[in-house]
Amino acid sequence: MSARVAIVDYGVGNLHSAQKAFEHLGCEAVVTSDAATIESAPGVVLPGQGAFGTCMANLAQAGLIEPVRRAARSGRPFLGICVGMQLLFEESEESPGVPGLGIFEGRVVRFPRDRELKVPHMGWNQLRIRRPVPALAQVSDGDYVYFVHSYHPLPRDPSIVATTTEYGVEFVSSVARDNVYAGVFHPEKSQRVGLKLLAGFTAMLDAA
């Protein structure tokens, strides 16, 4: 039987921790750079780690920009993690002139340059649920998840905001629309709450 979740391998991110988290939930996941596998899998996960521009360049080199775009627009459950979430927007000030995937309108910006605010934002912080979405069905308002990032999105459409988090400013920590859920935090490193979120994502597979 083929895997239910394809985790996109484009040379960045801790892919196997995400794979193990899904397997812990009894959901078969495969780490792959094969476009056909990504386009046929019932669910797709786009992880990410490092700089926005480097990640887009790696996707392009692997020939995966269009397969990932099609997956996100296919109606099949799609999960973006950390920089994988940022790539879903149109651009990032981290990498001027580099277009993102453009699934969501808006751009990604750096945290304010405040000497009292340590950047990157690293460690445990709370999610404030702004609207109910399927991926968050088992997650409670105020639950803690694990972050490591210096940039966050500014969506043009406020209706896609699923959660916000406070760190010097209130920033958008996850977004959702139709089949796509994406967070700037790491569910695969967020222990019990992270597993609840991934369970919510696998429930989306069952409902699809």
Catalytic sites, residue numbers: 82, 186, 188
User: What's residue 156's pLDDT?
Assistant: 98
Cα–Cα distance measured from residue 116 to residue 166, given in angstroms and rounded to the nearest whole number: 14
User: What's residue 2's pLDDT?
Assistant: 54
Cα–Cα distance measured from residue 36 to residue 158, given in angstroms and rounded to the nearest whole number: 33
Cα–Cα distance measured from residue 163 to residue 165, given in angstroms and rounded to the nearest whole number: 7
Length of the chain, in residues: 208
User: What's residue 5's pLDDT?
Assistant: 97
Domain ranges of the chain: 5-207
User: What number does CATH give the domain 5-207?
Assistant: 3.40.50.880
Global confidence as pTM: 0.96
Cα–Cα distance measured from residue 148 to residue 186, given in angstroms and rounded to the nearest whole number: 8
In sequence order, the 6+-apart residues with CB closer than 8 A to the CB of 149 are 82, 83, 120, 121, 184, 185
Closest CA to 176 of 149, 150, 198, 157: 157
Q: Which two tokens stand for residue 121?
A: 């934002």
User: What's residue 113's pLDDT?
Assistant: 85
User: What's residue 88's pLDDT?
Assistant: 98
Residuewise pLDDT in 10s, the chain (208 residues): 357 999 999 988 778 899 999 999 999 999 999 999 999 999 999 998 899 999 999 999 999 999 999 999 999 999 999 999 999 999 999 999 999 999 999 999 999 988 788 999 999 999 999 999 999 999 999 999 999 999 999 999 999 999 999 999 999 999 999 999 999 999 999 999 999 999 999 999 988 7
User: What's residue 190's pLDDT?
Assistant: 97
Closest CA to 64 of 11, 14, 140: 11
User: What's residue 198's pLDDT?
Assistant: 97
